[in-house]
C-alpha cells in the first residue's frame, strides 16, 4: 500500500479543513498509533500509508459534521489522495455513517483505535502525570465501564472494532496504550508547532 501524499502534505490538507487544535491532535495521534500498529503487525513497509490514513480519517468532521465520511472523498480526491486511501478513511464510519466495510487489517485497526485513542487521551488528562505512560489497562477498563466518563467516545464502536479484528478488548486496550505511550512525546512536540 502506497500513497504519494507526504506527511507534511497530508497535515496541510488536514489543517485546511480543521482549525480546532483538538482535531489536529486527534489526527496526529491516530496517525502515529496507526504507524505503530503497522510495524507491530508486520506491515512495516506500509507504515506511511497507515499513518496518513489515520492522520486524515476525520478530515471532514469539523466543517461537515452532518456529512462525516461522505464529504471526505471529495476533499481527499482534491488533495490528491488515492482511492485506496479514501476507502480506508470512509470505512471508519461503517455501520454508523456509511456502508463502506473495513476489509483490510489496516482499516479494522483504524476503526478500533479511533474512539479508543480518544478515551485513553481523556483518561490520561485526569492523571497527575497528564500522561498515558503510567496508565495501566485496569484503570482504563474502569473508565471504559464508566459510561459517564468521556461519554462521546463510543464504547460500542470500540467493542465492535475489537470483534472485527478477532481480538479481545484487553488485547486492543493493551496494545493501544503501548502505541500511545510510544508516540506521546512526538505528538506533543508536533502540537507545539501547530
Task: Pick the piece of the chain touching Fe ion (CB under 5 A) from 39-47, 68-76, 107-115, 164-172.
Answer: 107-115
Cα–Cα distances (Å) from 150 to 39, 125, 159, in that order, read 29, 11, 16
Q: Rule CB under 5 A: say whether 114 interacts with Fe ion.
A: yes
Q: Rule CB under 5 A: say whether 107 interacts with Fe ion.
A: no
Task: Pick the piece of the chain touching Fe ion (CB under 5 A) from 34-42, 56-64, 126-134, 154-162.
Answer: 56-64
Tell me how far, at minimum, the Cβ of 156 lies from Fe ion, in Å: 15
Return the residues of window 72-91 that contact Fe ion according to CB under 5 A: none
Tell me how far, at minimum, the Cβ of 115 lies from Fe ion, in Å: 7
Phi-psi region of 18 (alpha: psi -120 to 50; beta: other; left: phi over 0): beta
Q: Rule CB under 5 A: say whether 32 interacts with Fe ion.
A: no
- When the beta carbons of 2 and 15 are compared against Fe ion, the nearer one is 15
- When the beta carbons of 44 and 161 are compared against Fe ion, the nearer one is 161
Q: State the DSSP string of 4-73.
A: S--HHHHHHHHHHH---HHHHHHHHHHHHHHHHHHHHTT-GGGHHHHHHHHHHTTTTTTT-GGGTTTSHH
Measure the CA–CA gap between 86 and 82, rounded to whole angstroms. 6
Residues within the interface to Fe ion (CB under 5 A): 58, 114
Amino acid at each position: 500500500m502506497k500513497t504519494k501524499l507526504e506527511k507534511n502534505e497530508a497535515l496541510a490538507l488536514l489543517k485546511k479543513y480543521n482549525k480546532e487544535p483538538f482535531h489536529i491532535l486527534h489526527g496526529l495521534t491516530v496517525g502515529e498509533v496507526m504507524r505503530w500498529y503497522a510495524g507491530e503487525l508486520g506491515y512495516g513497509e506500509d507504515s506511511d500509508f497507515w499513518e496518513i490514513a489515520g492522520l486524515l480519517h476525520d478530515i471532514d468532521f469539523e466543517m461537515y459534521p452532518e456529512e462525516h465520511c461522505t464529504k471526505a472523498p471529495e476533499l481527499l480526491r482534491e488533495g490528491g489522495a488515492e482511492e485506496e486511501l479514501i476507502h480506508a478513511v470512509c470505512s471508519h464510519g461503517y455501520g454508523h455513517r456509511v456502508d463502506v466495510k473495513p476489509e483490510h487489517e489496516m482499516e479494522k485497526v483504524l476503526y478500533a483505535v479511533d474512539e479508543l485513542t480518544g478515551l485513553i487521551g481523556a483518561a490520561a488528562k485526569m492523571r497527575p502525570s497528564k500522561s498515558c505512560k503510567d496508565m495501566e489497562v485496569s484503570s482504563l477498563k474502569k473508565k471504559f465501564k464508566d459510561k459517564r466518563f468521556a461519554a462521546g467516545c463510543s464504547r460500542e464502536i470500540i467493542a465492535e472494532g475489537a470483534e472485527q479484528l478477532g481480538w479481545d478488548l484487553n488485547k486492543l486496550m493493551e496494545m493501544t496504550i503501548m502505541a500511545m505511550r510510544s508516540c506521546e512525546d512526538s505528538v506533543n512536540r508536533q502540537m507545539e508547532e501547530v
